[in-house]
Amino acid sequence: MYYIGIDLGGTSIKVGIVSEEGEILIKTSSATPVKKGFEGVLVRIKELIDEVMIEKKIDKKNIAAVGIGIPGACSQEGFVYFASNLFWKKVPLAERLHEMTGLKVYVENDATVAAVGEYIKGVTKGKKNAIFLTLGTGVGGGFIINNKIYSGSHGIGAEVGHMVIGKNFYDCTCGNHGCLETFVSATALIKYCKKLLEENKESLVFHRVDGNLDNLTAKIIFDCARKGDSTALKVIDRMTHYLAIGLANLINLFDPEVIAIGGGVAEAGDVFIEKLREEVKKYIYVKDMNVTEIVLAELKNDAGIIGSGMYAKFNNSSSREIQNYAKMK
Ligand SMILES: [Zn+2]
């Protein structure tokens, strides 16, 4: 049997067919028609599912289930409480997509399904206790505790990005102040860099954006840091410092075997990973037992498709073997 894995973001929808082993057979993607609302996005998802099934000549009877990773919070029944980038509030995603496709649909937070992907096919494979962080526009978290997904009593836990870490110069999109995400996301890097550039127009960063700060991206900041630009390095140092505090908090609370960092920012991990590992040591409680590995994720862009496909598999199966790997419903 096969599974449909869907990575639903505020910018793009990625859909793939995934094998029992977590291999992607085919994938496609499209811009998310956010302005068309919930029903409009559903129609687009259905079109993409049809596209990959027709292309691979795989019939509906060979699809065991659909998994979707969403940028928001949802119940275990696939009811989305909210997904701010999609402007969704209280929508019955699993129920509606099931009505449209006739397939069983399982919904989870996008960072959680990415954690499942890394756990099955990636860098946290075989680890009993693993925490996955995704650093992108925002910051998400996925927890595997005792070989099971942990998302809290109501499915709204593991919100690593909204751990309150310190005072910042702007508020979080969630309405709170001082969230980790406002220090370490791509958005945070850009905001802080712009603030520094108000004072220093000599930075290489300023030249790379042709004097127009609207063109600034996290990638440009990382590129300039690699070239030794002092403003860019200051931005990365600040990010590394706050990320180290966040990771040390997670280590002190959960004592995981591994913390994996994924998402767009992590693709520039070579710039900060060593320093991050050093800085984490300053804040962990049991200092002479520095045993949590801190690694960069492996699956990159495919983590969402593989993870949501595998999430569907685990939720759909009752075999004992699978119970060893992830939570059952
Ligand atoms: Zn927040």
CA 177: distance to chain centroid? 21
**Residue 256 has what DSSP assignment?**
-
| pLDDT score, position 323 | 41
**321 — pLDDT class (breaks 50, 70, 90):** very low
CA of 187 relative to ligand 1 center, distance in Å: 13
Q: Which two tokens stand for residue 95?
A: 């129920």
Domain 2-117+301-323 matching CATH 3.50.50.60: the answer reads no
CA of 84 relative to ligand 1 center, distance in Å: 12
Q: At residue 215, does pLDDT exceed 60?
A: yes
Question: How big is the CA angle at 237 (ends 231 and 243), to the nearest 5 degrees?
Answer: 140
What is the domain partition of the chain in residue ranges? 2-117+301-323, 123-297
CA of 160 relative to ligand 1 center, distance in Å: 9
| pLDDT score, position 318 | 63
- Tokens 């060979």, located at residue: 62
Can 2-117+301-323 and 123-297 be said to share one CATH topology?
A: yes
CA 218 to CA 286: how far, in whole Å? 34
CA 295 to CA 282: how far, in whole Å? 18
CA of 181 relative to ligand 1 center, distance in Å: 7
Q: At residue 328, does pLDDT exceed 80?
A: no
CA of 169 relative to ligand 1 center, distance in Å: 13
CA of 116 relative to ligand 1 center, distance in Å: 24
CA of 60 relative to ligand 1 center, distance in Å: 40
Q: Give pairs for 172-179: CB < 8 Å, separation 24+.
A: 173/84, 173/138, 174/84
Q: At residue 322, does pLDDT exceed 70?
A: no
Tell me which residues have their CB within 5 A of the ion that is ligand 1.
Answer: 162, 172, 174, 176, 179
CA of 139 relative to ligand 1 center, distance in Å: 9
Please say whether the beta carbons of 8 and 71 come within 8 A: yes
CA of 265 relative to ligand 1 center, distance in Å: 18
SS3 content of the chain, % helix, strand, coil (to 5): 45, 20, 30
Among 96-100, 119-123, 220-224, 271-275, whose mean pLDDT is lowest?
119-123
Per-residue pLDDT of 260-310, as tens digits, reads 999 989 989 999 999 999 999 999 999 888 789 999 999 988 999 999 999
**82 — pLDDT class (breaks 50, 70, 90):** confident
- Classify domain 123-297 at the CATH topology level: Nucleotidyltransferase; domain 5 (3.30.420)
Q: At residue 325, does pLDDT exceed 80?
A: no
